[in-house]
Structure 1
Amino acid sequence: MNKNIGAALILALGTFALGPVLAGNDRLTEFSNQGTIGNTRHNLTQRPTDGSTAINAGMMEAYRNDYQQVCVYCHTPHAANTNINAPLWNRTVRTTTYTLYTQQTLSQDATQPGPNSLTCLSCHDGQTAVDSIVNMPGSGGYNGALALNPSAGTMESLLDTWRLNGGDPAAVTHQGLNSDPNSETSCLGCHSPGKTSAATDFTVFALGTDLTNDHPVGVKLPAGSDWNVPSGTFQNIRFFDKDGDNRPDKNELRFYDSGDGFEVECASCHDPHGVPGTTSKFLPTFLRVTADGSQICLTCHVK
């Protein structure tokens, strides 16, 4: 069956089954964003864990392995990827040189992203399938040689060997956040304007390897009157200690030292597990500090 026809058929059946779920501005990818990471888009099983209606797990089955575990897409208790200094990291991380932000406003050249950016970029640079992990659930799901050293520019054939409960392979292709909506391996094949109307637009999340139009990473903690000074230091982190407890909390911006001094990384502003706001919901796009009134910007910048 043609892939696009198959996707349309799945969408049509899903629309018939879910009915009112698609009404108005609702999207199949919406989660409650409350309580745990399991209720956010970073739950790649696409099965909400808060008891709400299952949203689009069935529609995603052909495009990523549903390991039926939330944490496994990033972490593993055993046989972690030791090529990156990240906590029990379970994802493939490619060796890549990124094109960095360069403006005259920077007082020094930025360095290549450190571990606290590479973990995010292992999905968001679009080179790797979202389900590309080192140690899959169940017996016989580990293949370090292939998963840790993938061929550049390809999705990992190892993923095709995984079986759900011993049955047939769960996915026939493995999507990544690459920026080409016409690619057979791109999430944007559905999640972009003009594609599947029920799918949220993910275009802005497909960063690629050109980071020149994103907030710079790899830039050192600045000095001078234009910048606020972090008040806390903990191991390799300088952070804005809002509550004075001498530890970096989820809702506190921070700078990481990966060997080149304290620098901005993706995790300086984002916590992938979600940060509660003033309501019970997590802040949008996993921000540590709300963007309302530019609070997140003014944490560091004096303007």
Structure 2
Amino acid sequence: MKMNLVKDVMARVAGTVAVVLLGAGVFASPDVSAGIANTKHNLGSSTGPAERVNSFSGTGEICVFCHTPHGSDTSASVPLWNRVLSSPTIYTTYNSLGTSSLDGSTAPVGSVSLACLSCHDGTQAMNVMINQPGSGGYNAAGGTLAGTWTGDHQTDGKIADGLITLIGKDLRNDHPIGIQYAGGPKAGTVPAAPAAYSSTAFRDGDFKDTKSAVLNGQSVWWVDTSVGTAGSREKTDMQLYTRADVTSVNKDGDGNSMTLSGAQPYVECASCHDPHTENTTFLRIPNTGSAVCLACHTK
């Protein structure tokens, strides 16, 4: 009887965690956990995929390197984030190049991109986490889980120098992130979801129309890739992330400055990449024929 009771409690806890993750905005998919286990994002000591290059002896868990069911960083715009975020001010962004082809405003690094960079900027080891597995390992400032790293793509748990996956703090040679989609609106404001936000409203008309919806009371936008169910937001669509924490200055069609604030769609790391997929380089869709690029860009 006691054993059955324990099993029932454990099942209820697991179900509660799953509901919390889904309610926080994680895409529902029956193979999400299997996908992580079969990718390079499986950093634990448990048996991993043949192509895995980095492994840590301190835990056999997979999800803990990014997520925790308790004590997460509430400043992160991703569910239950288990890592310490860097300050947005440490990054040099693409707009500092002064390119004349950059139409939209660039916001300080934030949203989901800041979470991705908590590993990929190389400032801290991948085994630094807020809530370590087990009991007594909580440290809001981030603690280093004991263990040994193996693999050619890391040095002391940090992504090794010379790898393209080490993005660093200088983002000038990377696709812009924290940037308004299609340069933002050329006049007025971004239409409130679920109204259409089409290329006729963009400052830069060389971009595809977006889809939009209101989910959990929040406006969301995406670019439909026609992979899966058309018209509904799916993991295989290019995600645009709502940034309401910034105020941008645009030029209208007559060259007059206009200040925009409130929710509007921005391009972030996870617009093109899904950390839970088994696709090559974690792209949301295979880039055959530049399909990822052409999903948004009209060229």
Structure 2 length-normalised TM = 0.65
- Tell me the equivalent position of 1:231: 211
% identical equivalent positions: 35
Q: Deviations over 1:93-143 (max 9, x none)?
A: 121321111221011331112221111111001111111110001111111
1:288 and 2:284 matched: yes
2:240 to 244, 252, 255: 255
Q: 1:53 to 1:95 in 2, by over 3 A?
A: closer
Give aligned pairs, total.
220
- Tell me the equivalent position of 1:142: 138
Unaligned runs of 5+ in 2: 1-31, 183-201, 247-263
Q: Deviations over 1:208-231 (max 9, x none)?
A: 011000000111121143111112
State whether residues 112 and 270 of structure 2, in contact with CA within 8 Å, keep that contact through their aligned partners in structure 1: yes
1:100 and 2:93 matched: yes
Q: 1:70 to 1:218 in 2, by over 3 A?
A: same
Task: Report 1:6-21 matches (<5 A).
Answer: none
State whether residues 33 and 276 of structure 2, in contact with CA within 8 Å, keep that contact through their aligned partners in structure 1: no
Q: Give 3-state SS (helix, strand or coil) of 1:263's partner.
A: strand
- Tell me the equivalent position of 2:110: 114
- Tell me the equivalent position of 1:41: 40
Amino acid at match of 2:178: G
Amino acid at match of 2:167: L
Task: Report 1:126-275 matches (<5 A).
Answer: 126-144=122-140, 146-147=141-142, 158-159=143-144, 162=145, 169-171=146-148, 186-188=158-160, 203-222=163-182, 223=202, 224-234=204-214, 235-241=218-224, 242=226, 243-244=228-229, 246-259=231-244, 260=246, 261-274=264-277
Task: Report 1:17-32 matches (<5 A).
Answer: none
Alpha-carbon separation, structure 2, partners of 1:72 and 1:213: 30
State whether residues 46 and 56 of structure 1, in contact with CA within 8 Å, keep that contact through their aligned partners in structure 2: no
Q: Deviations over 1:139-198 (max 9, x none)?
A: 111111x31xxxxxxxxxx32xx5xxxxxx423x899x8xxx9x7664427xx5xxxxxx
Shift of 1:74: 0.7
Q: Give 3-state SS (helix, strand or coil) of 1:296's partner.
A: helix
Q: Give 3-state SS (helix, strand or coil) of 1:293's partner.
A: helix
Amino acid at match of 1:188: A
Q: Give 3-state SS (helix, strand or coil) of 1:110's partner.
A: coil
Amino acid at match of 2:65: Y
Q: Give 3-state SS (helix, strand or coil) of 2:181's partner.
A: coil
Shift of 1:286: 0.5
Q: 1:56 to 1:124 in 2, by over 3 A?
A: closer
Unaligned runs of 5+ in 1: 1-32, 148-157, 163-168, 193-202, 275-281
State whether residues 130 and 174 of structure 1, in contact with CA within 8 Å, keep that contact through their aligned partners in structure 2: no
State whether residues 46 and 55 of structure 1, in contact with CA within 8 Å, keep that contact through their aligned partners in structure 2: no
Alpha-carbon separation, structure 2, partners of 1:34 and 1:258: 28
Q: Give 3-state SS (helix, strand or coil) of 1:204's partner.
A: coil
1:300 and 2:296 matched: yes
Q: Give 3-state SS (helix, strand or coil) of 1:143's partner.
A: strand
Structure 1 length-normalised TM = 0.65
